[in-house]
Amino acid sequence: MLKFPVCAAIAVVIGFTGTATAEDAAELAKEGVPAYRLCTACHSLQPGIHLSGPSLADLWGKKAASIESYGRYTEGLKKADIVWGADTLNAWLANPQAIVPGTTMTFRGVEKKETRMSLIAFLRQAMAEGGSAKVVKDGLISHDSAEGQIPPDLSSVGENQRIKEIRHCRDAYYVTTADGAEFPFWETNVRIKTDTSARGPQKGEPVLLRSGMAGDRVTVVFSSLAEISLLVAEKC
Ligand code: HEC
């Protein structure tokens, strides 16, 4: 007779502790969200979306530098014998350069231990399998933050950004947009980029992006490397 209530009491205690721990973990993960915002400049939590850094999806418990579709890992990270978990992330996020000298993760590190602990509590959820969808569903971060700071979608921009013609003459590029306007830009103010992803420009229609205070600096984004030589001609 005595045994049952004791077992029940233990079960209750275990059950209670379990819940409290899960709640603590959830609370700590929430506190880690502001620190994670720094990562979104270079990382997405969504599988297969690589920015400057690789997607962090499903990396918890995985070997470092193991995402095949990310081709820009340093030799140092590839050779480092790291499996991502609380301890390895703690060291990496304190000072990436100290763990992998020469790493291209140009991030000075999270100095405060408490901040790292909460960030890692967040990453434990976010980097688990299916974690990206879960942290969004749980209201920890927005869909946009989970996606990371991906470049703007250039596949459906307006006529004033779609380039119909681009020619080079003397020290300038003359850019004609789909609405018929032609603009001269000093060649030194023009950056040429490619975005070969599905979110890049339509084929044959590079996109004009204005930047700089006066809009005098521009970026012309092509959908492929071949298009640069196909579409830009010397013509005065
Ligand atoms: C300035 C861009 C940048 C920022 C900011 C940045 N990272 Fe990175 N991260 C990278 C790059 C680039 C790599 C690949 C490094 C290499 O190959 O040496 C990387 C690698 C990683 C890896 C290893 C990935 C793998 O596949 O093994 C993890 C984990 C990681 N970063 C987490 C973070 C977290 C968490 C933050 C925020 C606290 C962060 N990073 C901030 C650019 C960045």
Residue 157 domain flag: no
Q: Which of residues 89, 120, 147 is at a domain's end?
A: 147
d(CA 157, CA 221): 12
d(CA 150, CA 195): 11
pLDDT reported for residue 215: 74
Ligand 1 centroid – CA 132 distance (Å): 16
Q: Which residues contact 46 (CB under 8 A, 6 or more apart)?
A: 55, 57, 132, 146, 147, 148
pTM score of the predicted model: 0.85
Q: What is the pLDDT of residues 166-186, one digit of tens each?
A: 999 999 999 999 999 999 999
Residue 73 and residue 55 in contact, taking contact as beta carbons nearer than 8 Å = no
Ligand 1 centroid – CA 42 distance (Å): 7
Residue 228 domain flag: yes
pLDDT reported for residue 18: 52
Pocket test for ligand 1, best of 105, 120, 124, 125 (most atoms within 8 A of CB): 105
186 and 116 co-located in one domain:
no
pLDDT reported for residue 14: 45
pLDDT reported for residue 13: 45
CATH number of the domain bearing residue 40 = 1.10.760.10
Residue 156 domain flag: no
Range of the domain at 73: 3-147
Residue 154 domain flag: no
3-state secondary structure of 131: helix
Residue 100 domain flag: yes
d(CA 98, CA 90): 12
Q: Which of residues 93, 122, 147 is at a domain's end?
A: 147
136 and 180 co-located in one domain:
no
Nearest CA to ligand 1 atom 39: 39
Q: What is the pLDDT of residues 10-46, one digit of tens each?
A: 444 444 455 568 888 889 999 999 999 999 999 999 9
Ligand 1 centroid – CA 98 distance (Å): 14
Task: State the average pLDDT for the chain.
Answer: 92
Q: What residues does ligand 1 touch, defined as CB less than 6 Å away?
A: 38-39, 41-43, 52-54, 56, 59, 64-65, 67, 73-74, 76-77, 84, 93, 100, 103-107, 110, 123
* pLDDT confidence band for 9 (50 / 70 / 90): very low
* pLDDT confidence band for 60 (50 / 70 / 90): very high
**Number of domains making up the chain:** 2
Q: Which of residues 147, 180, 205 is at a domain's end?
A: 147
Average pLDDT for 120-124: 98
Average pLDDT for 82-93: 98
Average pLDDT for 60-88: 97
